[in-house]
Chains A and B, each alone.
Chain A
Amino acid sequence: MEQFFNFSVITDNFTYFMIGRFPHGPLGGVGLTLYLAVASCILSFFGGMILGLFSISRFALVRYPALAFINLVRGMPLLMVIFWMYFLMPALFGKVAENNTVIMALTLFTSAYMSRIVVAGIEGIPKGQTEAAISTGLKSWQVMLYIVLPQGLRNMIPSFVNQFVSLIKDTSLAFIVGVSELTHVATQINNRTMAFPTEIFIFIALIYFILCYAFTSLSRWLEGRLSWSKAI
C-alpha cells in the first residue's frame, strides 16, 4: 500500500497547499480560498439584504428589477456568472485583478440566494409585530429596521452559515480564471509531479471537507441554540 499511494507529494508541498507563496509572493492555497469565501460572504450579506428588501418592496419599480435580477442569477450556472464578470469587468472598469473578478462574481451569485433567505427570515416574523409597530407610529422603514430585521436576522443566521459553506465550495470555480486558490494549486502540483493525482485530489477533498463540515456543524448547533426565538 505504501508503494501504491505515495503521500510524500503532500508533505513536500504542504506549505504551498496552505498559503501558496505567501510571504514572498501572492497568497494562495487554503489561505486564498478562505479569503475569497469570507470577502464574498461579507459583501453578499449586504447584497442579499438589499436585494431581499427590494424584492418585497411596495414599489413595483423597485420590486420587479430586483426579482428579475434574482431569477436571472438563480437560473444561471455559477461558471457562467464568472465568465460574464471575466468579460464585463474589464470592459466596464479597465484592468481588474482576477481575485476581484471572482469576488464580484461570487458576490452577485450568492446575493441572489441570500436574498431568498432574507425574505424567508422576514416572512417568518409574525404579522402582529409589524401591525403593532405601525400602530405605535413608526414609519415602515423604521418598522423594518428596528422591529422586524433584528428578530429576523437571528433566524437567518444558520442559513447564512450554510450559504458560507456553499461559498467555500464555490471558490473552487475560481480555478477557471486562474486564481491560485486550493483547487488551482492542486492542479498545478498535479501537472508538475504528474504521478500522484489520486493522492493530491483526495487530500484537497479532505481539506475542503474539514472546512465545510466544521461550518455545517456550526450551523446545526446554532439552529438548536437559536430555536428558543420561536417562542416569540
Chain B
Amino acid sequence: MRGAFSPPTPPKKAFRVLNYTFDWSIIISGKYFDWLVSGLVTTLKLSAISIVLAFILGLIIAVMRMAHSRPVRWFAHAYLEFFRNTPLLVQIFFWYFGSYKILPTAVNDWLVSTNFEFAAAAIALTIYTSAFIAEDIRSGVLSIPKEQMEAARSAGFSYLRSMQYIILPQAVRITIPPLVNQFLNLAKNSSLAMTIGVMEMTYQARQVESYTFKGFEAFTAATVVYLLLSIAITALVNVYNEKVLNVHKAT
C-alpha cells in the first residue's frame, strides 16, 4: 500500500528503449560497414581453415579410436574425452598464453612470425572440433556393416588400407550432414577468438559499438549475418539429404 505522501512514481524504465535513436546508416555503408565485412571475411577464413584441418585430424583420431592396438585406442579415447569436456575458451587461452612452454622453439618462432592470434585460435578450434568430428565419423563407420571390413581383410587389404579404400569412403558420405553441422558450430564457436584479439565478426561488432555507441545496430548486423550463414548451411544440408534420399530410393 502506498502512503499518501509517497513520492511520484518514476517513469517506467522500459521506456528508455524508446529514447534510443536508431541510426542504421552507419552499418549499411562507410567505415563501419567495411569493418563488419572484414570481420565476416576473417570469420569465414578462420572457420574454413579450421574445418579442413579438423576433418583431417578427426579422421585420424577416429581410425585410431577403432584400432586393434590397445594403447592407440586408449590414447584416442583420452584425446576425445579431454577435448570434448573442456571449454573451448580455456583451450583458446591455453594455446594463446600457455603453449610456448610445451612447443619446440622452432614452432614458436614460426607461430610468432605469422599472425599469432589467428594461429592460436585456429589451433584451438581445430583440436576442439576434431574431437567432435571424430565421434561423427566413428558413428558413420559403425553404421557400415561389419562384413565389409571382413571381406576387405580377406581380400588381402591391411586394416589401414581397408579403412582407406572400403570403409571410410562410404562412412564419410553418411557423415557429411553432421560434418556440415559441425562446420556451423565451428563458425559460431569462432566468435570466441575475439577474446584473444582476432578481428572476426563479433570483435568488429563490439568495435563498432564502442566507437559509435550504436550497440543495437552493430549487434543486429552481426546476428543477421550469423543467422543467414546458418540458414544457408542448413538449407544446403537439407538439399544434400534429399539428394541422398532420392539416390537411395532410385536404387
Q: What residues of chain A have their CB less than 8 Å away from a CB belonging to chain B? A: 4-5, 72, 74-80, 83-84, 87, 91-94, 165, 168-170, 172-173, 175-176, 183, 186-187, 190, 197-202, 204-205, 208-209, 212-213, 216
Contacts and interface: CB of A to CB of B under 8 A. Distances in A.
Question: Interface on chain B toward A: helix, strand, loop, or mixed SS?
Answer: helix
A176 B230 CA distance: 24
25 contacts: A75-B229, A75-B230, A75-B231, A76-B226, A77-B188, A77-B192, A78-B188, A79-B191, A79-B192, A83-B202, A91-B16, A91-B20, A165-B85, A169-B87, A172-B90, A176-B195, A197-B97, A198-B97, A199-B98, A202-B98, A205-B90, A208-B87, A208-B90, A212-B85, A216-B81
A79 B194 contact: yes
Contact of A83 (B17, B98, B219): B219
B191 A80 contact: yes
Contacts, number: 116
A176 B191 CA distance: 12
Interface residues of B, number: 43
Given A77-B202, A198-B101, A175 B86 contact: no
Contact of B85 (A170, A199, A216): A216
A175 B196 CA distance: 12
B98 A197 contact: yes
B139 interface: no
Contacts of B126: none
A200 B98 contact: yes
B66 interface: no
Most buried by B among A5, A87, A205: A205
Contacts of B17: 91-92
A80 B226 contact: yes
A203 to B, nearest CB: 10
A212 B88 CA distance: 13
Contacts of B88: 169, 172
Contacts of B227: 72, 75-76
B91 interface: yes
Nearest to B231: A75
A217 to B, nearest CB: 10
B127 to A, nearest CB: 12
B87 A172 contact: yes
Nearest to A215: B85
A9 B205 CA distance: 36
A157 to B, nearest CB: 19
Contacts of A94: 13
B222 A80 contact: yes
